[in-house]
Amino acid sequence: MESADKQQVEEEEEEFTFEVVKDLSKDQEANLFTFLQKVKKACNDDDSVPDFVGSQVTEWLKELQEKEALE
């Protein structure tokens, strides 16, 4: 049974993909920024979220803020 569970997890991981979007509209950037702020808050409030998630989200927020400052 354990190998069937492991196979299912591997199949689910293979199905998970990211689509890289290089040029976001202002609305998309604003929505992303708001979403990332909510994720950051959840990371701060929920000890079950791994530390690396919060640090990665913080980095993405900084990148969005820097991009906004340059424009």
Domain ranges of the chain: 20-70
Residue 37: predicted pLDDT = 95
Length of the chain: 71
DSSP symbols for the chain: -HHHHHHHHHHHHHH------S---HHHHHHHHHHHHHHHHHHHH-TTS-HHHHHHHHHHHHHHHHHHHH-
Note the pTM of the prediction, 2 decimals: 0.64
Q: At residue 47, does pLDDT exceed 70? A: yes
Q: At residue 14, does pLDDT exceed 90? A: no
* Residue of 42, 35, 43, 28 whose CA lies nearest to 61: 35
- Give 15-42 pLDDT, tens digit per residue: 656 666 678 888 988 999 999 999 999 9
Q: How far apart are CA 10 and CA 52, in angstroms?
A: 22
